[in-house]
Amino acid sequence: MAERVIVITGASSGIGAALARRLGRQGEALVLAARRKPELDAVAADSGNRTVVVPADVTVRADVERIRDAALEAYGQVDVWVNNAGRGIAKKVADLTDGDLDAMMAVNVKSALYGIQAILPHFQARGRGHIVNVSSFLGRVPFVPIRSAYSAAKAALNALSANLRMELRSSAPGVQVSVVMPGVVSTDFAQNAMGGSVPPATSGPGQGAASVQSAEEVASIIARLIDQPVPEVYTNPAHPSIARDYYQDVGAFEARLPRRPGD
Active-site residue list: 150
The residue type found at 173 is: P
In angstroms, the Cα distances linking 141 to 129, 183, 246 are: 30, 10, 7
Asked whether the beta carbons of 200 and 210 are under 8 A apart, the reply is: yes
